[in-house]
Amino acid sequence: MYLANNHNPLKNKELIDSYFSSEKSLKKTVEETDQLFFSLVSNWAPAVNKTTFLDKIKSLWTKKKEKVVFHHTLADETDVYPDWKPILDREWNQLKKTAAEKIALKPGENIRSALAGGGKHIFLEEGTYIIDELRVPSNTIISGAGPGKTILKLRPNAPKRSFVITNDNHVKGNHHILIEGITMDWSIERLDPEEKSSSGNNRSSCLTFANVQYGWVKNCEALNPGLHCFDVSSTVYDYSGDGHRARGGSRFVWIDNCTGSGFGDDGVTTHHSDYILITNCFMHDPSGRSHKKGFANSNGFEADDGSRYVWLINNASTRCFGGVEVKAHATSSAASNVHIIGHLSVNDNRSYNFRHIGHHAETDPQSKTALFLTATRIISVHPVFTELYAGSKPRALTISAYQYVVINGLRAIGDPDYNYKGLPIAGIQYKAKHIHIQDVKMDHFPTAGTALKVFGGANKADHITIQNVRFTNCGKTPLFIASDVKAFSLKNVTMA
């Protein structure tokens, strides 16, 4: 399979469904994952009634005592959504009322003046607008004629720290903002070809919502940002330690039907923000230029430091370092309560990578916050080595340091002619605990050492359940579980 640069992300669901066409329905699968997840987390808090979303549990984050809330994922035969989505729908109707005044602009007209004061719908007619960064006030809609038709492009002398679009006030915050039907071009050609493309913290992206409540980004394209295509962020990133979250995080933001390419770091990313919905998006072909050459951790989709309640539904990625990475840096809280439902990863180096850096080795502390993930109907097609991160080994799935994880439906398809050099294709390792994996099919990895490996040693994984797994043409030892791994269960594992 090859995903072309002009791949239509609205086709993602159809492609994902094709890998599970003969299986149980989408609705049944989502409900099954939801039940498995709540059963698993009840082990974390056995005294709490799981039907109440466990909302009486105090969080682990120490800067501010917040409740840990568990939400259900809901589905019918055609659609999937978190149970909190009605909040977004209600506020969407509110935005339509407050931004009722519509102003149409042509290229060359002053967008900033039109934006002043908010409470407007600015429609940008077809054409290319050469701009300094646009700062959008509350209660504002900016829409265009569609990607490739309405283009916002940073001027050649724009500082490297510039956004194409961001909200007006990162400190006090903004609310009710919609960006729709626009191409955002960060103009990376204005930099020296050997120059690092980002300027630090959450700067240098095509679109950043920082400290935004109720935000929507729909049917947009982001090209060649120095850092990220789309960043749902806090006022500043926070690196004060595991258990801390940054102030000024965003809440209730939906990114839908968006594409991005050429990103210096990640396509879509989240930091220290809650209630994020990312649907029907396609991220591909990063530049990796915000990193040192050969060390580009450039992911298509990333739920990063301190993020919570993130749903990623029917997205696709190709030729990235990671397709979907859920993670944190060593000096920050991990993303938690992240739910992936439907993802197609093609030729990414690590299709699905769940980790808390700095909490893996025997001498590292156990992560306080790397908790609560689900992945349903995920597909890895031909994970490969990449020059983006030259020393990284290709994997369909890696789980490190995270606890209370459900994987329900993984299809990993290799190339029988590709040399995987005796490596494992999927790994559970580095203090990962309470992992439930089921409905896995891994095919065409004859040069792999192991298809699925549960690592042992001083930093071993434990409390692992693996069931309903089939390995076909996956080397000499398709499944390997280290002898010192504690509390593991196998059921219905077949090898051909």
* Distance in angstroms (rounded) separating the CA atoms of residues 437 and 409: 8
Which of 343, 352, 357 has its CA nearest to residue 295?
357
Q: What are phi and psi of 277, to 5 degrees?
A: -120, 125
Instruction: Say how far residue 353 (Cα) sits from the centre of its chain.
Output: 10
Question: Residue 64: its pLDDT value, please?
Answer: 57
What's the chain look like in SS3? CCCCCCCCHHHHHHHHHHCCCCCCCHHHHHHHHHHHHHHHHCCCCCCCCHHHCCCCCECCCCCCCCECCCCCEEECCCCEEECCHHHHHHHHHHHHHHCCEEEEECCCCCHHHHHCCCCEEEEECCEEEEECCEEECCCEEEEECCCCCEEEEECCCCCCCCCCEEECCCCCCEEEEEEECCEEECCHHHCCCCCCCCCCCCCCCCEEEECEEEEEEECCEEECCCCCCEEEECCCCCCCCCCCCCCCCCEEEEEECCEEECCCCCCEEECCCEEEEEECCEEECCCCCCCCCCECCCEEEEECCCCEEEEEEEEEEECCCEEEEEEECCCCCCCEEEEEEEEEEECCCEEEEEEECCCCCCCCCCCCCCEEEEEEEEEEECCCCCCCECCCCCEEEEEECCEEEEEEEEEEECCCCCCCCCCEEEEEECCCEEEEEEEEEEECCCCCCEEEEECCCCCCCEEEEEEEEEEECCCCCCEEECCCCCCEEEEEEEEC
Question: What phi and psi values does residue 99 have, to the nearest 5 degrees?
Answer: -110, 45
Fold adopted by 9-413: Pectate Lyase C-like (2.160.20)
| pTM of the model as a whole | 0.96
List the pLDDT tens digit at each of the 496 positions of the chain: 899 999 999 999 999 999 998 778 999 999 999 999 999 988 776 544 444 434 434 455 545 566 788 999 999 888 999 999 999 999 999 999 999 999 999 999 999 999 999 999 999 999 999 999 999 999 999 999 999 999 999 999 999 999 999 999 999 999 999 999 999 999 999 999 999 999 988 999 999 999 999 999 999 999 999 999 999 999 998 898 898 888 899 999 999 999 999 999 999 999 999 999 999 999 999 999 999 999 999 999 999 999 999 999 999 999 999 999 999 999 999 999 999 999 999 999 999 999 999 999 989 999 999 999 999 999 999 999 999 999 999 999 999 999 999 999 999 999 999 999 999 999 999 999 999 999 999 999 999 999 999 999 988 899 999 999 999 999 889 999 999 998 999 999 999 8
Q: pLDDT tens for residues 55-86?
A: 434 455 545 566 788 999 999 888 999 999 99
- Domain spans of the chain, in order of start: 9-413
